[in-house]
Amino acid sequence: MTSLVLTLVAPRAATTLDTATISLARDIVRANGETIVLSPEEAVDIPCPANARDVLPQLHTQLAGKVDAVLTSAHDRRKKLLVSDMDSTIVANETLDDLATLAGIGDKVAAITARSMNGELDFATSLRERVALLKGLPLSLLEKAWQDVRLNPGAVELVRTMRAHGAYTALVSGGFTFFTSRVAALCGFEENHANTLLADATDHLTGAPGLPILGAQTKLELLEKLANQHKLADTQTLAIGDGANDLPMLRSAGLGIAFFAKQVVRQAITAQINHTSLRTALFIQGYPASAFVSA
């Protein structure tokens, strides 16, 4: 009986998934079943034995810079719960950094963000420090920042396809509800959670976030709460993120995916998307491209 599945996905804009690459991967993991094409020249599933995990580092070395390769259990592949981070995951932006850039303090805020996402600074502390630098800015600046927010490729397909197949979806961010509410609406997330920015009577930022601050523990608790509400086993849950504050939920989910993640996350999470798009999160679950629900 097959216990694992290796999913290979090539970045469509840069290359194709050729037979030589597939054959190489099959040899390394000692495939024990037929290759299943999920998307011609883009994605395949390769059944393999449990000890394929032992050769995953070798496989990544052989495929470096070419394709994403993710091993998952053959059981419960299609997850029934998606909890995803927003900044640098569902959207290409770091929205707080963008806001700071418009205010002329982009470098200061981005430096603090980088330390936090790399696990070098406590998230709550970093958020307070960054928001303090925004004190006195008009709320209208948020609307201006929103104009530059761009969804990452595959974001809408990921959410809408999972919902179409019975999954519940939630967006959770250490950023702000001003952005998550809009991103959630664009993608089709059923709920969203984030921090709030406090403003004074003149509609200028006070330099303080609303309390309590949503951080790593809150993300984990949301994953656990939603799994409990929907009576799901851990193996039926999926979490996606890129920063240190995503690590607890990524570790706890049945499938935790590091998406173009910071080094501290890549060192901790085995399932990684480093070369392709959020479409790959669907391929990893065994969805063929023909089942995708497009934007």
Q: Determine the pLDDT at residue 14.
A: 81
Neighbouring CB atoms inside 10 A of 76's CB total 17
- 148 given a catalytic annotation: no
- 85 given a catalytic annotation: yes
Looking at the structure, tell me whether residues 201 and 275 fall in a common domain: yes
Q: Mean pLDDT for each consecutive 10-residue tract of the chain (295 residues)? A: 87 89 96 97 97 94 89 96 98 94 92 90 92 95 96 98 98 97 98 97 96 95 98 98 96 98 96 97 98 89
Looking at the structure, tell me whether residues 60 and 83 fall in a common domain: no
Looking at the structure, tell me whether residues 166 and 20 fall in a common domain: no
CA distance readout (Å), 260 to 152, 223, 263: 11, 21, 9
> For residues 131 and 198, what is the distance between their CA atoms, to the nearest angstrom?
10
Looking at the structure, tell me whether residues 121 and 218 fall in a common domain: yes
Looking at the structure, tell me whether residues 14 and 131 fall in a common domain: no
Question: What is the residue range of 55's domain?
Answer: 1-75
Q: What is the CATH number of the domain that holds 36?
A: 3.30.70.240
Neighbouring CB atoms inside 10 A of 66's CB total 17
Looking at the structure, tell me whether residues 266 and 178 fall in a common domain: yes
Q: Determine the pLDDT at residue 130.
A: 94
Q: Determine the pLDDT at residue 13.
A: 84
Looking at the structure, tell me whether residues 70 and 169 fall in a common domain: no
> For residues 182 and 175, what is the distance between their CA atoms, to the nearest angstrom?
13
Looking at the structure, tell me whether residues 50 and 134 fall in a common domain: no
Q: Determine the pLDDT at residue 64.
A: 77
Question: Which residue of the set 18, 45, 54, 85 is catalytic?
Answer: 85
Question: Which residue of the set 18, 54, 76, 87 is catalytic?
Answer: 87
228: phi then psi, degrees, rounded to nearest 5:
-65, -45
Q: What is the CATH number of the domain that holds 240?
A: 3.40.50.1000
Q: Determine the pLDDT at residue 1.
A: 46
Q: Which of 49, 105, 46 is nearest to 70 (CA)?
A: 46
Looking at the structure, tell me whether residues 222 and 234 fall in a common domain: yes
Looking at the structure, tell me whether residues 13 and 113 fall in a common domain: no
Q: What angle do CA 232, 184, 83 make, to 5 degrees?
A: 30
